[in-house]
Structure 1
Amino acid sequence: MSNKSNGSSSQSQCHDSLLNRFGPMGMALAGTWFGFANPLLHFPMAILLLPAALILSALWAQSHAQAFKNGFLTALPGYAASLYWLAIPVHDHGGLPWVLALPCPVLVGALLAAYAGLFCMGVHLIKPQIFQPLAMLTLGLLWASLELVRNHFLTGFSWLTLAQAMAPWPTTLGLAAWVGGFGISGLIVCVSHSLLIGNSATRVAILPLIGLCLLPGLTSSPRNPEATASVSMIQGNIDQGLKWDVGMQADILKTYLDLSFKAVAENAPDLVVWPETAMPFYFQDPSDLTTNMRLGVARMQVPVLAGAPAYSIPMEPDAPSYVLHNRAYLLGANGEPLAAYDKEHLVPFGEYVPLGKWLPFITKLVPGQFEFRPGRNTEPLQSGPMAMGLLICYEAIFPELAQRQVELGANVLVNISNDAWFGHSSAPWQHLHLSVLRAVEQNRAIIRSTNSGVSAFIGPDGSLRGPTTLFSTKIAHDPAIPLLTEKTFYHEHFYLIHMAFPILTIAFLWVLWRAGRQTHT
């Protein structure tokens, strides 16, 4: 009997151990995969499972180190799965074999999972007080603080933030105009905590929390803008494998010009917008391509905003003969360039190699012999009443860049991108959802023009108008894009809000930790 009893006890403990390990991991995997855009089904509310799973894994830990490990292992499969698309450009355009490309989502997922591990250490720190209402608020602030750190650390990677999961339901994002996307993420954690382990006091807070998220979107009424603009976007759908073929340059330019002539004839826009590097040549150099571009715009008699590679000659000693820029040109109705913006936040390993001077054996994962340099001309581009704040590609994921453009006077934001690198994956949709947050945070419409989708006009409330399908040749048009000057509470108190997240987190963690120690003594 004793042996049977001991065997049964051992089996039970083994079962509990497996449940403790793989139960939260399964929850996190389902919440992350279905909570963010994916090829199967995107259900925004599923994202609540991710912080819930992390809280559970932390509560089952016996030490801070084990809490970190549990959180890391719990979050890693979901993050890696949701970033599966990272392997596509690394293999298809970077030239790496699949055996080296496939680990890339795991490596980047591990970086995000490390922040989940830190979150679990915070949960474990206040474990004795975890059921208190203050614990709910503290964990929300802790998550917001960690997303803020992730936005800046190692050049920043603000992808897969909890708030972006809710972008398909823009009514839930109205509070971003008050606390930003990181604040929305914190509220999601608060709701998840209340549903999972809240006592009667914290569960009473669920409805007010949900109401707080919905209230701004439900009660705000759109105001008549001071001015509007009619804009057409051209989605050229140029094959990424042909885009930089010198023999295709003239055909690519003709494709964009022909579509633009059609857009102007049908819609009579105030502006035509082409995507990132839609002109695959150096527009700044005198050439037949540059001449044809200028003559084509002059024939349209409509200003054109178009992306192109550019270069400059650095003046510092021992500098290369020239450096590259990712540039957006604004051409006037007569075809002459009026202004330009150079991308200022470059993609690590895509446009430059971090620590390249010390790690010369690391090369870029995209074609090109020279690295890019960030631009310094960050002023909005002016076309008639439009003061356009430019965000090129990846820049749309960083709230501080949209903040700066609005601070400099932008009354509309323009995000030009080329997401063709990622094939038929969920990356373009995840990118779009981050752009939606920037629109609500800054109370600015966003013109999002891409080479292969998803192009869309994003309203200042986060709503989408005319999103295009992936890998289709399209003309998208909006006859009345609002040009707004009113600034949000989040914009006016941007730095104060971001400072408040970590300061309040540290203060509340200390209070709860002290209270927990006193309870045990």
Structure 2
Amino acid sequence: MSYLILIAMFGAWAGFANPVFQFPLAALGLPLGLAWIGFRATSARKAFRFGWLAGTLAATGCLYWMVIPVSQYGNFPFLLALPCPMLVGAVLGMYYGAFSAFMHVAGKHVSGAILCLLAGLVWAALEILCGTLFTGFPWMNLASAFTPWPAAIQLASIVGAYGLSGIFVVLAVSLLLCSTYRSSLALAVFMAILVAGFGLFRLQQPLPDGPEIDIALIQGNVDQSRKWDGRFQVDTVEKYIGLTRKAEQEAAPELAIWPETAMPFYLQERTRLSEVVRKFVRESSVAVLTGTPAYEMTNPQTRDYVLFNRAALVSRDGRIREYYDKEHLVPFGEYMPFEEWLPFGKLVQAAGDFVPGKTSAPLSVGKAALGTLICYEAIFPELAQKQVAQGATVLVNISNDAWFGRTSAPMQHLSLATLRAVEQGRWLARSTNTGISAAIDPHGRITARSGMFTEEFLNIRVKAIDEKTIFHHTCPTLAWGIPLAALLGVAFVVRREHIARKR
């Protein structure tokens, strides 16, 4: 089994985004290796055990970056932070182990193309479950590995990222079984032609039309360890204003987007720094969408309040008329689940103790409606779906990836955000503190991109699009239809196994 574990492990390491070398097709080694483990195992229990081990190692290698925020910005010494990726990887490994166990049982009762299709269906359902259970963490979405090849991800506009992952798994398992079953070979050829053919066809089509909006993406590259120090707040404000002025000299943006918590103070208050920002906006010709912490008094008499991670839109008159508060918070970073039972506090102490936002309506800038996603909200398809359903014509992702250092995480985060643009057929404007800031078109092509840990701005032009993708219309059905179909498939296989044992 060792070489099968290595196929799954190295397939994930080389297939998903990383700073050393990425070859997207290698990502197929993950489901291929896990399925092979299932077929070779002598029992479902052993298939789960070896699949779990392979999945744990694969996920740990892809999530090694978790050590950085926990050790550098949390309360944990490096040696105690070191196991964090493995702990999370072990949880994700259970999904992979379940896939291997299913393939072991299914392989005894189903064959050929049907077996391959069932594999893709179950994988897609497991990804949906992974993105939902315990607040969800769909970071290792298989389809995201293929974003460097835009032609390979166009089917996400029909079946979404989870459905596309299932299609890639069908292809991987078909390749594994093509020498055994003729129908598997035919299915592998069909799937390859479907993915590539539809992708190339869609990339040749003109992008949907709509009103143009010029945007400046501002990347301040503010040192995370000094960001919340009051002594450096003036420098931070001046840096973002200075970069925005340079962007205005080069072009005439209608909107400047500053990253998540770019303003490390309460912009809602009438303080000296807040007034500097408002005055700049009034005197310039550009509105500013910026990240900032915010609060709301819950009991004025006792001075009780709650905190929000906010994207505030400062209009040209210097007022904050609209804002969006992050609704899907990072557990153990932005809030503590099960706080009363756990012996430790938040893993990243500087992040804040936030509560989910109450409103998620798009923000209006000229003829555009901005569907805002803060930080890792961009990895959840349902949040972008919700924004577009409420009228968003442009997607915006503001983030602070400085937590992750020079690791795979910023690249993996960008890959996941790219899928949201394809799924919803929207331009996506992404502004981060330390990179990677980018403009992504509705076909998932990156039209402008910043470096990492650089101080720069990007002047981009996007279009406000009303047209909706097939996926947008089918997303609610797919969200329950895929798991239900997978459950029926599992039930069928389990029943066949039960009957076989009785004999």
Q: Which residue of 1 aligns with 2:430?
A: 448
Alignment size in residue pairs:
498
SS in 2 for 1:375: coil
SS in 2 for 1:413: strand
Distance in 2 between residues matched to 1:143 and 1:113, nearest whole Å:
13
Distance in 2 between residues matched to 1:315 and 1:295, nearest whole Å:
31
Equivalent of 1:347 in 313, 318, 330: 330
Alignment of 1:205-284 (within 5 A): 205-220=187-202, 221-284=205-268
Q: Any conservation in 2 of the 1:439–1:445 contact (CA below 8 Å)?
A: yes
Q: Any conservation in 2 of the 1:57–1:120 contact (CA below 8 Å)?
A: yes
Q: Any conservation in 1 of the 2:112–2:182 contact (CA below 8 Å)?
A: no
Return the offset for 1:469: 0.9
Equivalent of 1:327 in 270, 292, 310: 310
Equivalent residue letter for 1:509 = V
Q: Any conservation in 2 of the 1:135–1:512 contact (CA below 8 Å)?
A: no
Deviates more, 1:214-223 or 1:96-105: 214-223
Q: Any conservation in 2 of the 1:57–1:74 contact (CA below 8 Å)?
A: no
Return the offset for 1:369: 9.2
Equivalent residue letter for 2:34 = L
Return the offset for 1:54: 0.6
Distance in 1 between residues matched to 2:300 and 2:230, nearest whole Å:
31
Equivalent of 2:388 in 406, 417, 421: 406
Q: Does 1:149 align with 2:133?
A: no
Q: Which residue of 1 aligns with 2:159?
A: 179
Q: Which residue of 1 aligns with 2:92?
A: 112
Q: Any conservation in 2 of the 1:234–1:260 contact (CA below 8 Å)?
A: yes
Distance in 1 between residues matched to 2:339 and 2:206, nearest whole Å:
48
Given the two structures, how large is their TM-score scaled by the length of structure 2? 0.96
Q: Any conservation in 2 of the 1:174–1:215 contact (CA below 8 Å)?
A: no
Q: Any conservation in 2 of the 1:130–1:136 contact (CA below 8 Å)?
A: no
Distance in 1 between residues matched to 2:494 and 2:230, nearest whole Å:
64
Q: Any conservation in 2 of the 1:301–1:334 contact (CA below 8 Å)?
A: no
Deviates more, 1:162-171 or 1:493-502: 493-502
Q: Which residue of 1 aligns with 2:489?
A: 508
Distance in 2 between residues matched to 1:206 and 1:48, nearest whole Å:
13
- Per-residue CA deviation, residues 346-401 of structure 1 (Å, 9 max, x unaligned), is 00011000011343x32112234961101011100001111000000010000110
1:370/1:219 CA distance change after superposition, 3 Å = closer
Alignment of 1:26-41 (within 5 A): 26-41=6-21
1:513/1:133 CA distance change after superposition, 3 Å = farther
Distance in 1 between residues matched to 2:371 and 2:455, nearest whole Å:
25
1:93/1:223 CA distance change after superposition, 3 Å = closer
- Per-residue CA deviation, residues 61-114 of structure 1 (Å, 9 max, x unaligned), is 222222211110122111101111000010010031111111000001111111
Distance in 2 between residues matched to 1:128 and 1:363, nearest whole Å:
47
Q: Which residue of 1 aligns with 2:280?
A: 296
SS in 2 for 1:284: coil
Q: Any conservation in 1 of the 2:299–2:305 contact (CA below 8 Å)?
A: no
Return the offset for 1:223: 3.7
SS in 2 for 1:382: strand
Distance in 2 between residues matched to 1:215 and 1:385, nearest whole Å:
35
1:514/1:161 CA distance change after superposition, 3 Å = same
SS in 1 for 2:206: coil
Q: Any conservation in 2 of the 1:275–1:449 contact (CA below 8 Å)?
A: yes
Q: Any conservation in 2 of the 1:134–1:508 contact (CA below 8 Å)?
A: no
Q: Which residue of 1 aligns with 2:65?
A: 85
Q: Which ranges in structure 1 are unaligned for 5 or more consecutive residues?
A: 1-19
Q: Which residue of 2 aligns with 1:169?
A: 149
Equivalent residue letter for 1:255 = K
1:119/1:369 CA distance change after superposition, 3 Å = closer
Q: Any conservation in 1 of the 2:213–2:368 contact (CA below 8 Å)?
A: yes
Return the offset for 1:127: 2.0
Q: Which residue of 1 aligns with 2:357?
A: 375
1:114/1:306 CA distance change after superposition, 3 Å = same
Distance in 2 between residues matched to 1:219 and 1:370, nearest whole Å:
46
Given the two structures, how large is their TM-score scaled by the length of structure 1? 0.92
Distance in 2 between residues matched to 1:369 and 1:459, nearest whole Å:
31
Q: Does 1:418 align with 2:418?
A: no
SS in 1 for 2:114: helix
1:224/1:494 CA distance change after superposition, 3 Å = closer
1:358/1:320 CA distance change after superposition, 3 Å = farther
Distance in 1 between residues matched to 2:92 and 2:339, nearest whole Å:
23
Equivalent of 1:285 in 269, 272, 288: 269
Distance in 2 between residues matched to 1:245 and 1:237, nearest whole Å:
15
Q: Does 1:96 align with 2:81?
A: no
Equivalent residue letter for 2:346 = K
RMSD: 1.8
Distance in 2 between residues matched to 1:451 and 1:125, nearest whole Å:
48
Return the offset for 1:161: 0.9
The structure having more radius of gyration, on CA atoms, is: 1
Q: Does 1:57 align with 2:40?
A: no
Q: Which residue of 2 aligns with 1:133?
A: 113
- Per-residue CA deviation, residues 197-249 of structure 1 (Å, 9 max, x unaligned), is 23111111112101221233222212451211111111000011110010000
Q: Which residue of 1 aligns with 2:185?
A: 203
Equivalent residue letter for 1:450 = T
Q: Which ranges in structure 2 are unaligned for 5 or more consecutive residues?
A: none
Equivalent residue letter for 1:403 = Q
Q: Which residue of 1 aligns with 2:369?
A: 387
Q: Any conservation in 2 of the 1:175–1:216 contact (CA below 8 Å)?
A: yes
Return the offset for 1:515: 5.5
Equivalent residue letter for 2:334 = E
Equivalent of 1:496 in 452, 477, 480: 477
Distance in 2 between residues matched to 1:134 and 1:282, nearest whole Å:
57
Deviates more, 1:222-231 or 1:38-47: 222-231
Q: Which residue of 2 aligns with 1:311?
A: 295
SS in 2 for 1:466: strand
Distance in 2 between residues matched to 1:279 and 1:397, nearest whole Å:
24
Q: Any conservation in 2 of the 1:457–1:465 contact (CA below 8 Å)?
A: yes
Distance in 2 between residues matched to 1:516 and 1:309, nearest whole Å:
55
SS in 2 for 1:414: strand
Q: Any conservation in 1 of the 2:131–2:380 contact (CA below 8 Å)?
A: yes
Q: Any conservation in 2 of the 1:123–1:130 contact (CA below 8 Å)?
A: no
Q: Any conservation in 2 of the 1:380–1:389 contact (CA below 8 Å)?
A: yes
